[in-house]
Structure 1
């Protein structure tokens, strides 16, 4: 799928830079969301005002009204009673920045998209894909408020289920854009075995599972307990009585801090092992250089991510390490998406081969 006629190389380049910019904004928003969570700022704005909420309080009266709204929820009464207005402002700005970025991304996506449609830069297949991504973005706004609403009446924090859904949906949108970006370059599929193609898809799926589990860990504050490695709760594998004490048993997979952290650790080991096997298979089967390079890069970044995860855990989740850990998780997802797309079977299109930017002129983003 290219979506753009071969004679329109400049237009193709414009579309790719647009998508690259949106992907970068989403990555920044995910990190700001992580900081919002780590600073306990996510419930500081208790109303959903998609349009008027773009402006922060501009007067002392407006600040007082916003603060009174926060005082009415359980988080203030149980965790932050006695907080001053200046302290409230420090958490308000994190949440407001996060929501503002969401609005900026919506505008940065929709307006150029409509312009490209009007100019006829996009064919039917690409238009459907991009409308689908826009639909996911609109859904993300609704999911964000659904998440916040879970912490406004009976809880002192948002539901970890909804937090995980919110994060994974954001990263699904990010991955869809990254996949589309590489497809627009229209490189033919790399020579490879079926096993390599299958393992690249499994790696991408497992990366999403790990991201979901990481969000559960954050939602439960599970990184602030069991701060030893490689043991957890006194052993490499905790006792079943500790892992599955809640009823029904499956609730432990989402609600038990020990079980969720254990799942996150085991999935990290599985992801690392599969990435190593995938790279070894690529080298042994003499796959294309691009496939081997992509597999080796993926192993390297997953190794860095695992190291950061261990350091974050041992130091009880300091904000700088936690955000670095989250940033490298986005890099892992990017490389896993690159590799899966690179190995995805598709027929090369002779006309579009003329459109591919020469290697010496390609952006660093396109060379992976």
Structure 2
């Protein structure tokens, strides 16, 4: 009887594989976005565009007069007046490019999140139980654009850089969107496209990883990677006794570059423990998920150490940030592999074999 009622609960036009492919494409674009965002931050390019024009801003300056106007706007902010006074127009064009490319990618991601969503919805190709999820993904992408401007705005009046707290919100939101999108895509590819519940181990692993990513964002925002370029000790000590200490105590875990770098160094090993446990748990059912998780976390720790020892060389630091995204993806994939199907309801009905096929 249940098998007879399933087709009535699922639109015969549902195409879970196609919707999953769209979401995986979105994940790939978010990966590129985070990498370009890292380059933008490391090259101090984020404040080169001082206006937020979501539509007209897609067109870069085309004439000498337009370039001069953008440069004059930049010359009004503290970063130029206190740090970059004397910068030439050609030097300005270099930093402008990265911020423009970052924003342009944001526009592309917005279109990729919206247009296929509208098309799939019109064709009734989204399986039941996934319409609200894909809608939330689009809304999160829109919110992320607003967060990006909120971050930039923090560095336009009184500061010579953006708020590291706002930068952390911006980066973590991107990674939350990536995780939610990837989980949804994997749900759609699972047997029957039945949504899966995050296991308890997965929740703890995500929490540990979130803490590490948060402190990684603080390290980037505070330029804390430059505080000490030695490893495993910070100079000659585990924690430098002469380092300044902020009051109240909790501020050190947000605003003190030395403390932030210290936590980011050593919390990595907590994340490593979770990664090893997850890899061992998932290995019996999927050796490739286990290998991917081991590889991503191992490469990330080595790149983190290399970033410090290199004095935060651009290509090393960018590779470190890019690999962080791969770590997040490998955690999501491994945890999803361990997850169990949730309760099937009319809102999230399983697909019958005839509708489970993709393109």
**How high is the TM-score relative to the length of structure 1?**
0.86
SS of residue paired to 1:229: coil
1:322 match: 317
Distance in 2 (alpha carbons) for counterparts of 1:102 and 1:51 = 11
Q: How many equivalent residue pairs?
A: 343
The reply on whether 1:113 has 2:117 as its aligned counterpart is: yes
Aligned to 1:334: 329
Higher relative contact order (CA 8 A, sep 6+): 2
Deviations 1:44-97 (A, max 9, x none): 000111111111112111111100000000000111101111110010011001
Aligned position for 1:185: 189
1:337–1:324 Cα change, 3 Å: same
Mark the CA change 1:64 to 1:327 in structure 2 (over 3 Å): closer, same or farther.
Answer: same
Match in the other structure for 2:145: 141
1:114 and 1:7 map into 2 onto residues whose CA distance is: 18
Which of 223, 244, 252 lines up with 1:221 in the alignment?
223
**Aligned residue number for residue 5 of structure 2:** none
**Distance (whole Å) between structure 1 residues aligned to residue 274 and residue 184 of structure 2:** 25
Please point out which of 84, 87, 90 is paired with 2:88. 84
Residue 237 of structure 1 deviates from its aligned partner by 4.0
Q: What are structure 1's unaligned runs of at least 5 residues?
A: 362-368
Match of 2:275 in 1: 275
Do 1:224 and 1:317's aligned partners in 2 also have CA atoms closer than 8 Å? Answer: yes
CA contact (8 A) 1:204 1:340 kept: no
**Greater share of helix:** 1
Task: Give the whole-Å Cα distance in 2 for the aligned partners of 1:154 and 1:272.
Answer: 39
Asked if the contact 1:186/1:356 (under 8 Å) is kept, the reply is no
Following superposition, the deviation at residue 36 of structure 1 comes to 0.4
CA contact (8 A) 1:35 1:94 kept: yes
| Alignment partner of 1:198 is 2:193 | no
> C-alpha distance in 2, partners of 1:55/1:202?
44
The 1-side partners of 2:323 and 2:33 are apart by 14
- Secondary structure of the residue that 1:125 maps to in structure 2? coil
1:327 Cα deviation after fit: 1.3
Judged with a 3 Å threshold, the aligned counterparts in structure 2 of structure 1 residues 329 and 353 are, in CA distance, closer, same or farther, namely farther
Q: Shift of residue 267 of structure 1? A: 1.3
Distance 1:30 1:85, change over 3 A: same
Separation in 1, partners of 2:294, 2:135: 33
Q: Does 1:153 align with 2:149?
A: no
Q: Provide the residue aligned with 2:259 in structure 1.
A: 259
Report 1:1-368 matches (<5 A): 5=10, 8=13, 11-187=15-191, 197-239=199-241, 242=243, 245-280=245-280, 282=281, 288-290=284-286, 293-346=288-341, 351-352=351-352
**What TM-score does the superposition give when structure 2 sets the normalisation length?**
0.89
CA offset at residue 352 of structure 1?
4.5
Output the CA distance in 2 between the equivalents of 1:197 and 1:133. 22
Change in 2 beyond 3 A, CA 1:187/1:262? farther
Find the aligned partners of 1:232 and 1:275 in 2 and give their Cα distance: 26
In structure 2, list runs of 5 or more residues that go unmatched. Answer: 1-8
